Chain A
Amino acid sequence: MADASSQIARTVATAPPGPFREFWSSFKENRGAVIGLVIFASFLLIAIAAPLLAPYTPNAQFRDHLLQPPVWEAGGSWQFPLGTDPLGRDMLSRLLYGARFSFLIGLVVVGIASFFGVVIGVLAGFAPRWGDTLIMRVMDIVLSFPSLLLALVLVAILGPSLINAMIAISIVLQPHFVRLTRAAVLSERGRDYVTAARVAGAGPIRIMFRTVLPNCLGPIIVQAALSFSTAVLDAAALGFLGMGAQPPTPEWGTMLAEAREFILRAWWVVTFPGLCILVTVLAINLMGDGLRDALDPKLKRS
């Protein structure tokens, strides 16, 4: 909770048991969350260090080694530890580079969705009743569509590309942030410290973003963590449907789509990207659950 507010982070060294340490001690009690955090951190490292770890560039083709099985299967070799795909590209290298795309998608989508979602949510929380109603009904309309379908429609309008897929997923995820922020703002804005800030002369913008918002960050951070996995999953789904990252981008969902026809002949071309998506999403969700328990025991599921 505390690490989100730079103002607190600055003074945390001098304050006795800071809010951050308090948070950490309750976070580490949840073993699943710690495992999730470790996996998440190692994926992050892999994404950053992909060019150093990968034996080949992701698009290098080895025409003599089409659909070569992984090393432990008959016909596999250490040259391509996880085998090759139908175009003779090294699976391991592509998967390592794929982590970069997943993280990029997660960060950009969560960044856009949470920024706009939080701003709109705070405005809705402070708006007069008609403004609040207007904003929330628009959000309800967005929420009433199946999220992947809406993302598909948006991508169909914008044109298939990774950027457009990220924009579409952000728009789909953003109402969750609006609702959550608004609810938190509504419960905080009646508190006396907000009135006290008003009496001290704070203007509406300052009240909204300096006084109230930092006190609403707990659930928003949790939602951001959980949205990260949704974003990775949705981007993979869009990629699989041909509406996200375009070949030859080594994005996990796109890799799945490209390998679909070889599913019976070469299990490894679909299994490994699928496994990567599964493990990443699982790790992030575990971590998000731990965050939620540590930041706000009262909040069950947003």
Chain B
Amino acid sequence: MSTANPSGTSPETGPTTGPILTASHLTRHYEIGGGAFKKPAVVRALNGASFTLTPGRTLAVVGESGCGKSTLARVVTMIEPPTEGELSIGGKLIGPEGASRDRDLRSMVQIVFQDPYGSLNPRQTIGATLMEPLKLNRPEVKAEEREARAREMLELVGLRPEHFERYPHMFSGGQRQRVAVARALMLDPKILVLDEPVSALDLSIQSQILNLLVDLQDRLGLAYLFISHDLSVVRHLADDVMVMYLGRPVEQGPKEDVFAHPRHPYTRSLLSATPVADPRRKRNRIKLEGELPSPLAAPPGCPFNPRCWKATAECREAFPPYEGGVHSYACYHPLDADETMEALADAP
């Protein structure tokens, strides 16, 4: 492992050091439709997300489909520039004018995609896939060393040396995801964006990959941005949690606080929807009415107001300000401690 990653840095940059990535009011809009005579519609896929990532810690982003989780991943990975807001990675600032995606920044942040069947080039051997990032970013590394590092990485993620020359179609989903993780680690990144890395896998394979990720984080001191809609996975892996709804973070804080004392009604309904493998446990499920509104026509004010059982006129006028300190939430009517007791009964 020693050459593939300066693992010696992990003790120094332990969880106690400052953030490696700071995002403030990240916003990403897309213009869709529109033609010569039609004004394009604007989708606010991501709206004012602020958070920090710290080495050795995991920030989990949860929310239902279409809430902007993957957009967040793309902005943090610098695949797309933010429309507004700023991203500071290791002291370098990336604004709406787009990142100068130089080698250093690229090496800092890497991504693992959801679908291991689509994320590996079917025409490249595993070895070529692993060596490509090095070839492109570190041309000074000699071919033999490149191969040696790729083989080392293969071992690190729990694959065998003979897999080096095989093609992706010869692998199972779990093995492919290991390859995807290995590829992301080839440039010794400090931050790994995991865009639902296990949701396409079997349950038994999921835990293997999750354990691999935990293990790698311990060994390499990585900061994870873990995107998921599976709360039981988040519970297992996360240090901090950010709950998103329709492009906006609605609640954010340490995992224990958010799970035990959700303040935002949406968080609570999300938590109550987690299946519990205990038939005798009392379930107090909150069923949300209606559909997730189209991000093209987000309701004014708090985006959750059409489905919220506590909504008032206030909620329909303006998006509530973020309140609270470490555990912050955006709601005019946050849930009290006794109200969250029911949610607590569901949470282990």
Contact = CB atoms under 8 A, between A and B. Distances in A.
Partners in one complex: yes
Interface of A: 5, 7-8, 11, 14-16, 19, 191-193, 195-202, 206, 211, 214-215
Nearest to B102: A201
Contact of B133 (A8, A15, A19, A200): A200
Among B115, B121, B123, B166, max chain A CB count under 10 A is at B123
Nearest to A8: B123
A192 B125 contact: no
B111 interface: yes
B113 A196 contact: yes
Contacts of A196: 111, 113, 119-121, 180, 183
Determine the main DSSP class of A at the interface with B. helix
Contact of B123 (A5, A198, A199): A5
A270 to B, nearest CB: 48
Contacts of B147: none
B166 A15 contact: yes
Contacts of B101: 201
B109 to A, nearest CB: 8
Interface string B215-230: 0000000000000000
Contact of A200 (B120, B166, B183): B183
A7 B127 CA distance: 12
Interface of B: 77-79, 101, 103, 106, 110-111, 113-115, 118-125, 128, 132-133, 136-137, 165-167, 169-170, 180, 183, 187
Determine the main DSSP class of B at the interface with A. loop
B163 to A, nearest CB: 11
Given A200-B136, A200-B183, A192 B106 contact: no
Contact of A11 (B113, B165, B170): B165
A191 B166 CA distance: 21
A196 B182 CA distance: 12
A15 B123 contact: no
A196 B73 CA distance: 13
A211 B77 contact: no
The 6 closest A-B pairs by CB, nearest first: A192-B119, A200-B133, A201-B136, A192-B113, A214-B123, A192-B118
Among B132, B137, B166, max chain A CB count under 10 A is at B132
A16 B170 contact: yes
Contact of B137 (A5, A200, A206, A215): A200
